[in-house]
Structure 1
Amino acid sequence: MQWLDKDGELPQALGTVLDKSKVSLSLADLRMEDAPLVGVNKAFTAMTGYSASEALGRNCRFLQPAGGAGPVRQRMHDFIANPNLSEGKFLVPNVKADGTPFLNLIYLSKLNLRNEIVYILGSQFEVAQRGDDALQMYETALKQDIRSLREVVGELGMVMLGTYEQLASSHSIIAEMRLSDFRGYL
């Protein structure tokens, strides 16, 4: 896991768990202005084509196309602003470093430290060009990673909010996308 130099407080144990993951993962710090990414793993850089130095310190909106992500951006903002929501899943049009557009299925989970939500853990999955088998492998790997992360953050005095129910909705989100006008973004 590559970290933003500023965030020296992030425990090494958390980075170790995230870096071992084959799932694209990022960590944003809500205490910093515009909630920039403070951690990205190798799977994130491989999927997006952006190096860690290009991604760290920036809000993840930099992945959105020039015209924006449409209504999903407001839904993501509402999720982050709502303290009663602990996790969410969003289908977002994104663009890789080389300009290639793709649909990104993003799972967000809030990490709480001393009753304050301090981090948002993001997991990304490229929907376009992937089938149901790849989605199932992603969900299985993500569930395993979340179990490992819960153990580590618990030892660090943090609480990873939420449950696994959001993962079960991936197939329905993708089906809705196929029926919607998301193709206009690609």
Structure 2
Amino acid sequence: MPVYTEYELPDTLVSYCDKSNVALTIAAVDREDVPLVYVNQAFLNLTGYSADDVLGQNCRFLQAGAATEEERAAMREFIDDEEISAGRFRVTNSRANGETFQNFVFMTRLRKPDGETRLILGSQFDLTSAAERQNVKADLAANDSSLLRNADDLAAISRGFGLAMIGSAKVLSESLSTMATIIYREG
């Protein structure tokens, strides 16, 4: 997997992410415009882009005008606030072919032992079919702000709407984030 050549990532972190079937990205917060410095094959499969298309770009290119201002603002708040360790965001994204999808994104700061954040790990889950089956897009939009601030609310609401996939995605993402954080600190 090609890695953005201007940025050094620990081999163990890259190897760990390469093996995942979950769509994963790593962005450099210590670079202007927080560019992607790593994407795995699952991310490329999800979005339809090639690594050459996405490495070095900010993830906002996936929004292609489809995301709402509220969706964008929530992610900007996370990126700008060093005190927030992790965030969960539902955002409308576009694939390379122009098809939109509901992306449930989990972002986690990868901190060095001194607490400095240089990287953000993102894991993405396509929840389009679940949202369509349950016809809950409007309900999810109305509850986004509380979902982003309280994981307990997320679990309760997802059970209430029958979106077990959100709870599963959260658990999987947190497990991936924990492993990546440990690997990054040791690397």
Taking structure 2 as the reference length, the TM-score comes to 0.75
Query: Post-superposition shift, 1:61?
Result: 0.4
Tell me the distance in 2 between the aligned counterparts of 1:92 and 1:100: 14
Counterpart for residue 101 of structure 1? 100
| Alpha-carbon distance in 2 for matches of 1:5, 1:145 | 24
More helix by share: 2
Residue aligned with 1:129, SS: helix
> What's the offset of the Cα at 1:135?
4.2
Q: 1:147 to 1:120 in 2, by over 3 A?
A: closer
Once the two structures are overlaid, the 10-residue window that deviates more, 124-133 or 91-100, is: 124-133
Give the unaligned 5+ runs of structure 2. Answer: 134-162
Shift of 1:144: 3.5
Q: Pick the aligned partner of 2:169 from 135, 138, 158.
A: 138
Counterpart of 1:122 in structure 2: which amino acid?
Answer: G
The alignment status of 1:154 with 2:153, answered yes or no, reads no
* Secondary structure, aligned partner of 1:3: coil
Q: CA deviation at 1:67?
A: 5.5
Q: How many residues align structurally?
A: 155
Question: Given that residues 18 and 41 in structure 2 are in contact (C-alpha distance below 8 angstroms), is that contact kept between their aligned partners in structure 1?
Answer: yes
Aligned to 1:80: 79
How large is the RMSD of aligned CA atoms in angstroms? 1.9
Unaligned runs of 5+ in 1: 157-186
Task: Find the counterpart in structure 1 of residue 89 from structure 2.
Answer: 90
Post-superposition Cα deviations, 1:32-81, rounded to whole Å, max 9, x if no partner, equal 11010000001100001011111101000000032653211111111111
Aligned counterparts of 1:117 and 1:154: Cα–Cα separation in 2: 11
Question: SS where residue 2 of structure 1 aligns?
Answer: coil
CA distance in 1: counterparts of 2:178 and 2:108, whole angstroms: 13
Does residue 23 of the first structure (1) align with residue 19 of the second (2)?
A: no
Percent of aligned positions that are identical? 35
Q: Distance in 2 between matches of 1:61 and 1:96?
A: 12
